[in-house]
């Protein structure tokens, strides 16, 4: 079973990434950052975690306000470095632990946390700024894989401190019930005190930062009771993002061993580092098995439904590239390129030979079995002039005529904006009737 070996909390200010890239490790102004990071770096090197569940907030880079989620879990296989406006840092992407992520996502949803899920989104300095200074990379890349958990703390209303703490407790259940032997570290980032906007920009509170470092270790319940306004008053509005540290703390046992705590205020943000080793007792009896049964309860029996394939996180990851290609049919330029030269379009999208073949043959049933969600089929159908009813019939292995005999009316339709095509379908049906 997976084991949480400890928790890490660290600031994610871009200052860290800047100092790392500019090789400022020995510079008197920057050296204290790396001195305080060294015990964390050493602890990670010694513990060699198989995966890090990484709690952070995106800085309106990959996530924008057209769709802003409270909790978004990364379920993909890899995460690239985001361009935040000045170019991409010279760092490799990092591998995701998709299997653990899927398990965590299912567990959290079963515990009534309404998660959103993401793939194919690069990570900004909220992730790569501290990680570039904490993980030792080799020619083969990073030494571990990650499950990123993005918390929306920039657009109010945001999750409460209590909700973050409860999510951490649910995260513990999720990780400990994962059936593979993994060593997992839960890492939370953000803060400490700072404010970067308005007339209050530049605010810091060193006393509060030290009190917070002590309380997150010894009295997280008191921190969970605080309001956003109280956090903002003590640590600045942007500094209120330290509620994410409660998610890490909730994932650990009540009693923890503090093996490192550090602090430095070089400029705008109090940079804190904290390492807590878990003292959790192994779950008693069949607790983990019961939790996995709890996770499976909602879809228990669905496997007996003939011709029914719930679109889950595994399908979403496996068929992401093909679903993305078909989803792009909503773009006129993509549609035109596909119709003009499908093979070139396939190649530019990087489709596999199997994926190309499924689209070429309009294998509607095969596409579903591969992991394509139906609503991408109807988009493809709209582009190639195939009605929804033709697709339904093909999935059932029936002729259109036989399928229509099972309907109350013999009408054809699609999601295409071309009403003329629908009229031609209806005329064709009338002639064949």
Mind giving me the DSSP string for 327-374?
A: HGGGSHHHHHHHHH-HHHHHHHHT--HHHHHHHHTT-HHHHHHHT--H
Architecture of the domain defined by 3-288: 3-Layer(aba) Sandwich (3.40)
Residue linked to tokens 């997150």: 216
CB-based burial label for 49 (10 Å; 0-12, 13-18, 19+): buried
Within 10 Å of residue 328's Cβ, how many Cβ atoms?
17
| The pLDDT value given to residue 424 | 66
Residues of the chain with pLDDT under 70: 284-285, 418-433
The two structure tokens encoding residue 397: 């292995």
Q: Tokens at residue 245, please?
A: 């540290």
- What pLDDT, on the 0 to 100 scale, is given for residue 421? 60
Token pair for 430:
């009338």
* DSSP code at position 268: S
Whole-number pLDDT of residue 433: 47
| pTM for the predicted model, two decimal places | 0.92
Which run of H or E residues covers position 295? helix 287-296
Known catalytic residues are 125, 194
CB 75 within 8 A of CB 119: yes
Fold for the domain defined by 319-432:
Protocatechuate 4,5-dioxygenase; Chain A (1.10.700)
Taking a C-beta distance cutoff of 8 angstroms, is the pair 339, 382 a contact?
A: no
* Composition of the chain by helix, strand, coil, percent to 5: 50, 15, 40
- List the chain domain ranges: 3-288, 319-432
Could you please report the per-residue DSSP string of 92-145? Answer: --EEB-HHHHHHHHHHHHHTT---EEE-S--B-HHHHHHHHHHS--BTTB-SSE
């Amino acid at each position: 079973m997976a084991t949480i070996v400890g928790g890490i909390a660290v600031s994610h200010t871009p200052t860290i990434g800047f100092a790392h890239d500019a090789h400022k490790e020995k510079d008197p102004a920057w050296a204290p950052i790396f001195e305080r990071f060294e015990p964390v770096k050493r602890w990670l090197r010694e513990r060699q975690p198989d995966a890090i569940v990484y709690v952070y907030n995106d800085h309106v880079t990959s996530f924008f306000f057209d769709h802003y989620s409270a909790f978004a879990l990364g379920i993909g296989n890899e995460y690239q470095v985001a361009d935040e406006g000045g170019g991409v840092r010279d760092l490799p992407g990092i591998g995701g632990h998709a299997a653990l992520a899927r398990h965590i996502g299912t567990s959290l949803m079963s515990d009534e946390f309404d998660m959103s899920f993401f793939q194919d989104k690069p990570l900004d300095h909220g992730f790569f700024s501290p990680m570039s200074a904490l993980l030792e990379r080799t020619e083969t890349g990073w030494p571990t894989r990650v499950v990123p958990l993005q918390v929306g703390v920039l657009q109010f209303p945001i999750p409460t401190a209590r909700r973050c703490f409860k999510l951490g407790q649910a995260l513990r259940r999720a990780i400990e019930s994962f059936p593979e032997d993994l060593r997992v570290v839960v890492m939370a980032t953000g803060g400490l005190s700072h404010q970067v906007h308005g007339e209050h920009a530049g605010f810091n509170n060193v006393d509060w930062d030290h009190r917070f470092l002590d309380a997150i270790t010894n009295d997280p319940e008191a921190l969970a009771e605080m309001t956003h306004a109280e956090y903002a008053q003590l640590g600045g509005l942007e500094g209120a993002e330290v509620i994410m540290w409660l998610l890490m703390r909730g994932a650990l046992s009540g009693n923890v061993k503090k093996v490192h705590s550090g602090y430095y205020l070089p400029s705008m943000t109090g940079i804190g580092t904290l390492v807590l080793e878990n003292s959790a007792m192994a779950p008693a009896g069949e607790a983990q098995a019961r939790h996995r049964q709890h996770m499976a309860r909602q879809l228990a029996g669905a496997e007996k439904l003939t011709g029914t394939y719930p679109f889950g996180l595994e399908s979403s990851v496996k068929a992401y590239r093909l679903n993305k290609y078909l989803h792009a049919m909503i773009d006129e330029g993509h549609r035109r390129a596909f119709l003009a030269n499908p093979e070139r379009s396939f190649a530019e999208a990087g489709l596999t030979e199997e994926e190309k073949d499924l689209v070429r043959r309009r294998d509607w049933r095969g596409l579903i079995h591969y992991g394509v969600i139906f609503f991408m089929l109807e988009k493809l159908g709209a582009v190639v002039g195939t009605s929804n009813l033709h697709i339904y019939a093909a999935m059932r292995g029936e002729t259109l005529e036989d399928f229509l005999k099972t309907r109350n009316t013999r009408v054809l339709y699609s999601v295409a904006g071309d009403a003329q095509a629908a009229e031609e379908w209806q005329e064709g049906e009338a002639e064949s009737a």
